[in-house]
Structure 1
């Protein structure tokens, strides 16, 4: 199986057949973008990894605002609700997306570019050819360096335009007291805590809507200090403990503490960096990089954290400032059982009652329950990553669609069934392992949170309607906020000029592997063989280490790595076989497209001259097809390594 080098051979397909274009007043073609470096971001707005990419793209846009560089989003939705241009427009406003977005509802553009997972970045050269196809979350400095390299090469060969493309962007609008409120929490004194997520602040108000505390100026960023000067970035879930409000500051990857007596905001967990690996054991919380904490729930003196970005449940001890991982391996899937072996998919809502922690596991459209005494997990409703729907009855089928909030009650569990625009109720059912689900209110706009007061009133964050509502006996009333100061807009710290980063980018997803139409793996233990070939006149240094790091970027619920990271010694010579061991679960369909992302570190030398060697790094996306019948035990790919520099 041969690889196909990207340079000069792969013309970027056109962007026609998009059902709508957002943030601009007309369709955009690849032809009119000749002369510019084009960065295509294939995303879907439910995806936490896609959310992680957006700040990187925003920084790229600002760094290269004077260069012929343009970012274009291609929204290829996973859930049915995500194919609606109006809902995508709301997501653009919620996340502050400032570039054009093509709505690819039937995944036509996705298929043209051979995309297999969200998110994926495609970089197109000014001459219209594909330079790289990179799944996952790109490192800012690597992506910046790659773009800078392509600009320099195009400037040298005369294909670079003199100025950025002339495209008028629609301004972001905000004319409401609240802007995409994400969560609501009831405080012990009966007041309401609201995460005004789109305004990057937190409000505490009376039940009649009078705002008494505003934490955050509205500027997007991170800053501790007095509440009026503090800065948040997309705050979400909250809980009350010890006279203070704790806030999941999601895109700052931190937990913040708002002391209502002193009016001070402090960071108590996270260092504002996006975490890569969770802590192996309990550690000082401010020294651990978190990964998009989405909700908080106090149980005793422990705050449980829905760590959406790492697909886990963590624990934070506010009294001693320690944090650890409680549940989840980090694999994105739905697996019950012992907490340390369980698997989750973007947990986004928490609520506890009688020693059971209920979890809205959003990407599996599931409601899960953790027995905090037995340390075990079971699923109450939901089936898997690609099973979702809108229904009622016994909860053994897909009845929910990307649910973000839960509230445990004496009767059962209230569910913010977000993408269905409903509040539903799960109740146990005698003789049923799963229980039953019923719709108890509908007609909302992507509600993300529901809270229950002691008098039976429900409070709902009706996110896309920019409002908080209360529901009593089936009747809805909007809470009109007053006395909240106007939110400032924009970043806390303006983007400044920068020097191109000195980051090596040779081999960054420039190798394109193709999988024959009839090839695939069958269920069971198997492998992916990567056969490395050095250029003529070079060889791998005998005895030198080859380091392999792999991850499943699509269908981690069915494709699993036996050893995600390992090393081996190069045997020397121009060829080396790398065996990536995998395990495949039985596919529920005849064929399912999956994908691996593999990073290889190696040392190559001139043949016969061990003194002239250089380290190399290769990033490669590996397409893997899973077959229910007729598959093989292993797939093979040939990979040509880069030349040794002179």
Structure 2
């Protein structure tokens, strides 16, 4: 028997619209609800299909609304959700589902979930997960059949056209070119890489028209390797060259997929799935595939991709790497030629990939911090008792032998001592806002402070660990790079409200 759709609580906040909405606003129109949360890679993947549905059916009277149902406590904050909607280019109204009340009323069980409401206000169809475009399209066509409905224009969303500054940067790395330090920044929202000199002055930008949501990057030989996340591939750019760099696709066929255990592909035919970070590991490149919960290796000698960790099931299960369960692995860093550390964001954990475990020849996954998909918090202590909240990146210091972690949803920089098995907090002189990237270079930590649209640099020697690792001095920020950047000829005159670096 059809069920009448419950209405939206009038006190709930909305994003992308100036007025609170109710089902009565859309009487006679079919409605598509998208239940999502912004930490979820599957929720991000379906936005492409949702955009196609909006473009095809909203002019015919369909109404598309998002329902944000937070998993993590950080995701409950209205401003954080608003930032996520802008960062992800969501152009329909989104209601903030406080304490998951709508989730419960609509009997939702997973992220993402679609619910179709017919023109009489009855629930007509529901489906969860990715790859639902065809079935949704079929049901929407049936709901719109023989109806001549006007388009309801709701969104107050404004596109952010800002090429003068960073917009939601997710990773920055440094290297020396002609004995001078240069920074390369994944300017994710602007779909480009920005190059700065040692003083943070603009040198060039490149990758526009090539990259879509670039994220992790690393320097390899004479090239910058970039995770072209939403194109599901790995791109190599020349370190030098103007105005556009020579580039090549080194891995990824452009369609996401899941790797079978120990499978091997010609690199350009590999089904990379939202590659998020990359690091040098020996002579090869280790890559986190966030979308398939796996880690793979680009083998340089024969240009192949080899599956090394993650069964594809989302969970935290240690053991033989090929069969272990990971949950949105994000940041990755090499501790040695046989050990990788990575942040497993959905389990709020720090984990290792260890080659030749106990001289057995096996590759194993070992968790240092973290217990489960819903176990998170903000607590220093021994690995078994410490807690993080959705950490997105990590960097190994070969000088101090410490692992640094950006604890993204706690807005914090954390430090893990391998020798002491202890997770502490580095207290900074500047507040972070959802940092998502960190790298180490020549005694300095380079942090992408994503929601503050800036890069900050810290001198690691200023971080003094006392006998009690919890007692750390407030660490000063050495440099902050935040723009504006660009050439005057690159932008319209109406945007030139301040001097250009």
What TM-score range do you get, normalising by the shorter chain?
0.7 to 0.9
- In the TM superposition, what whole-angstrom CA distance separates every residue of 1:526-551 from its partner, at most 9, and x where no partner exists? xxxxxxxxxxxxxxxxxxxxxxxxxx
Counterparts in 2 of 1:156-305, with a 5 A limit?
160=147, 162-175=149-162, 177-189=165-177, 190-217=181-208, 230-261=209-240, 263-275=245-257, 278=260, 281-305=263-287
1:34 Cα deviation after fit: 2.2
- Residue 354 of structure 2 is matched in structure 1 by 371
Per-residue displacement from partner, 1:205-258 (whole Å, max 9, x unpaired)?
A: 2121223342223xxxxxxxxxxxx32111100122231111111111111111
Distance change in 2, residues 1:26/1:351 (3 Å):
same
Query: Per-residue deviation at 1:67?
Result: 1.0
Distance 2:454 2:77 in 1: 21
List alignment gaps of at least 5 residues for structure 2: 358-362, 463-474, 493-501
Structure 1 stretches of at least 4 aligned residues deviating more than 6 Å after TM superposition: 486-489
SS at match of 1:106: helix
Corresponding residue for residue 73 of structure 1? 66
Match of 2:408 among 418, 432, 441: 418
Q: Which TM-score applies when normalising by structure 2?
A: 0.87
Distance in 1 (alpha carbons) for counterparts of 2:238 and 2:198:
20
- Distance in 2 between the 1:17 and 1:411 partners? 53
Query: What is the aligned partner in structure 2 of residue 573 from structure 1?
Result: none
Asked if 2 retains the 8 angstrom alpha-carbon contact of 1:297 and 1:350, the reply is yes
Distance 1:150 1:83 in 2: 33
- Provide the alpha-carbon RMSD of the alignment: 2.1
Structure 1 position 168, deviation (Å): 4.2
Structure 1 residue 342, shift from structure 2 partner? 1.3
Q: How does 1:346-357 map to 2 (within 5 A)?
A: 346-354=328-336, 355-357=338-340
- Does 1:144 pair with 2:137? yes
**Contact kept? 2:58, 2:152, Cα under 8 Å:** no
Contact conserved, 1:18 with 1:103, CA < 8 A, in 2?
Answer: no
Q: Which residue of 2 aligns with 1:599?
A: none
Alignment partner, residue 499 of structure 2? none
Alignment pair present for 1:20 and 2:13: yes
State which of 337, 362, 366 in structure 1 corresponds to 2:319: 337
Alignment of 1:615-630 (within 5 A): none
User: What is the match of residue 563 of structure 1?
Assistant: none
Q: In the aligned structure 2, how far is the partner of 1:284 from the partner of 1:13?
A: 51
Conserved in 2, the CA contact under 8 Å of 1:118 and 1:135?
A: yes
SS at 2:198 equivalent: coil
Question: In the alignment, does 2:471 pair up with 1:475?
Answer: no
Which residue in the other structure is 1:509 paired with? none
2:466 aligns to what?
Answer: none
What secondary structure sits across from 1:438 in the alignment? Answer: strand
- Determine the C-alpha separation between the residues in 1 that align with 2:17 and 2:269: 42
Q: More deviation in 95-104 or 408-417? A: 408-417
Counterparts of 1:277 and 1:313, CA distance in 2? 9
Q: Structure 1, unaligned stretches of length 5 or more?
A: 218-229, 490-646
User: Aligned partners of 2:419 and 2:224: how far apart in 1?
Assistant: 36
Describe the shift of the 1:53–1:362 C-alpha distance in structure 2 as closer, same or farther (beyond 3 A): same
Q: Which residue in 2 is equivalent to 1:117?
A: 110
Q: Is the 8 A contact 1:17 1:108 kept in 2?
A: no
TM-score when scaled to structure 1?
Answer: 0.68
Q: Which residue of 2 aligns with 1:383?
A: 371
1:128 aligns with 2:118: no
Q: What secondary structure is seen at the aligned counterpart in 2 of 1:245? A: strand
CA contact (8 A) 2:299 2:306 kept: no
Contact 1:389 1:399 in 2 (8 A): yes
C-alpha spacing 1:398/1:76, structure 2 compared with 1 (3 Å): farther
Return the offset for 1:398.
4.8
More displaced 10-residue stretch of structure 1: 398-407 or 138-147? 138-147
Structure-2 change in CA distance of 1:54 and 1:301 (3 Å): same
* Structure 1 Cα separation of the partners of residues 332 and 205 of structure 2: 24
Which residue in 2 is equivalent to 1:104? 97
Question: Which is worse superposed, 302-311 or 365-374?
Answer: 365-374
What whole-Å deviation, never above 9, does each CA across 1:124-173 have from its counterpart, x for those lacking one?
11221112110101333332233122211xx2xxxx45202242423133
Per-residue CA distance 1:388-437 (angstroms, 9 max, x = gap)? 0012122222521000010112331100000111101011354xxx4333
* Greater Rg by CA: 1
- Between the aligned partners of 2:340 and 2:254, the Cα distance in structure 1 is 27
Q: Distance in 2 between matches of 1:378 and 1:168?
A: 46
**CA distance in structure 1 between the aligned counterparts of 2:41 and 2:236, rounded to whole angstroms:** 24
How many pairs were matched up? Answer: 460
From the superposition, tell whether residues 289 and 429 of structure 1 become closer, same or farther in structure 2 (CA, over 3 Å): closer
Find the aligned partners of 2:72 and 2:378 in 1 and give their Cα distance.
12
Contact 1:257 1:265 in 2 (8 A): yes
State the match for 1:494 in structure 2.
none
CA deviation map 1:426-457 (0-9, x unaligned) = 11354xxx433333436200011122221x32
- Asked whether the 8 Å contact 1:18–1:104 carries over to 2, the reply is no
- Residue 122 of structure 1: SS of its match in structure 2? strand
Contact 1:94–1:198 at 8 Å: present in 2 too? yes
